[in-house]
């Protein structure tokens, strides 16, 4: 598994055109977090340093080919005093595989403040490293993320709401110290946010083995954070129907500050023969 510093490094090949790296992978399609992270870093390279990303909305259009780089075309939609908007299209084999809109905002604006409270959970040190819980076959796929420490909160240690259909909580962090660059931590969290979220939709259906793929992904960044410190991913799946599952996540730092929010819809298709690797390419 490549270091996140390498994954998020994009090369400028022309004005507003960037290329992300390709890295050895056990997956048959490029991990969605990698595509989203590289697209975000490409957009950030076209924005002044006093503007910080506060939201992104992306659609996964085609499965990415992990064996070749993706090229990212950035459109400068708007440059205002407080807000800047960019649209990014990821290209492979001459076709769009991903499209994203990202909005950037200055941090000098002031307003009222409030946030939801972080739910009570065990400390991450009290939980088992996800890598230590997996069998040999699962471990081979999970090698993609061995640089990330994921610790799922067991159901018996969660305080849940009877009004929510599916709930899951995960502590996660990057295992190694990262640079202090705020942009880099945002890109890392964009990568990490695609991990485990769609799995929250399977909580009420533990025996199901659906064909899964990310369809779209939206994030809002609200407060500064470090991706190499523990973050709690509080996940829910409000609804699943027709082969699609809606999932939502709130991300808190260890001090209980809500630093980001995520919404994702994913393919959750049953009734078809599954490929040997559920990460295999799909025509959707």
Domain presence at residue 58? yes
DSSP 141-179: HHGGGTTEEEEEPPGGG----TT-S-EEEEEEEESS---
- Neighbour count for residue 108 (Cβ, 10 Å): 7
Q: Domain containing 149: what range?
A: 4-107+123-269
185: nearest Cα among 82, 46, 41: 41
pLDDT band at 139 (very low <50, low <70, confident <90, very high): low
Residue carrying structure tokens 């049953």: 270
Domain presence at residue 60? yes
Which stretch of 79-93, 100-114, 234-248, 269-283 has the lowest confidence by average pLDDT? 269-283
pTM of the model: 0.91
- Neighbour count for residue 137 (Cβ, 10 Å): 9
Q: Which two tokens stand for residue 55?
A: 């939201």
The pLDDT assigned to 131 comes to 75
Residue carrying structure tokens 């490293």: 129
The pLDDT assigned to 127 comes to 94
CATH number at residue 178: 2.40.160.210
Residues with active-site annotation? 194, 214, 264
Give the pLDDT confidence of 14-35 residue by residue, as tens digits: 999 999 999 988 788 899 999 9
What b-and-e string marks burial along 44-58, b requiring 16 or more CB atoms within 10 Å of the CB?
A: bebbeeebbbbbbbb
Domain presence at residue 143? yes
């Amino acid at each position: 598994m490549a270091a996140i510093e390498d994954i998020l490094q994009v090369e400028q090949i022309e004005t507003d055109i960037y290329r992300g790296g390709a890295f050895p992978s056990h997956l048959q399609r490029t991990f969605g977090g990698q595509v989203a992270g590289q697209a975000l870093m490409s957009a950030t390279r076209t924005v002044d340093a006093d503007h910080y990303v506060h939201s992104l909305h992306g659609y996964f259009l085609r499965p990415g080919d992990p064996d070749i780089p993706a090229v990212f075309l950035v459109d400068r939609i708007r440059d205002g005093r407080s807000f800047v908007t960019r649209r990014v299209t990821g290209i492979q084999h001459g076709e769009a595989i991903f499209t994203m809109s990202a909005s950037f905002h200055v941090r000098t604006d002031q307003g009222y403040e409030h946030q939801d409270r972080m739910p009570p959970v065990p400390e991450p040190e009290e939980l088992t490293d996800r890598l230590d819980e997996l069998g040999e076959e699962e471990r081979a796929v999970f090698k993609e993320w061995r640089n990330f420490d994921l610790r799922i909160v067991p159901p018996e240690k969660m305080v849940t709401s009877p009004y929510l259909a599916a709930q899951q909580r995960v502590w996660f962090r990057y295992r190694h110290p990262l640079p202090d660059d705020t942009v880099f931590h945002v890109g890392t969290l964009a990568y990490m946010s695609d991990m485990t979220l769609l799995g929250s939709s399977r909580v009420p259906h533990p025996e199901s083995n659906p064909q899964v793929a990310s369809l779209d992904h939206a994030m809002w960044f609200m407060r500064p954070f470090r991706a190499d410190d523990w973050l709690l991913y509080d996940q829910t799946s409000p609804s699943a129907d027709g082969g699609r599952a809606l999932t939502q996540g709130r991300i808190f730092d260890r001090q209980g500050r809500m630093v980001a929010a995520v919404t994702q819809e994913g393919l959750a298709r049953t009734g078809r023969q599954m490929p040997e690797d559920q990460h295999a390419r799909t025509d959707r």
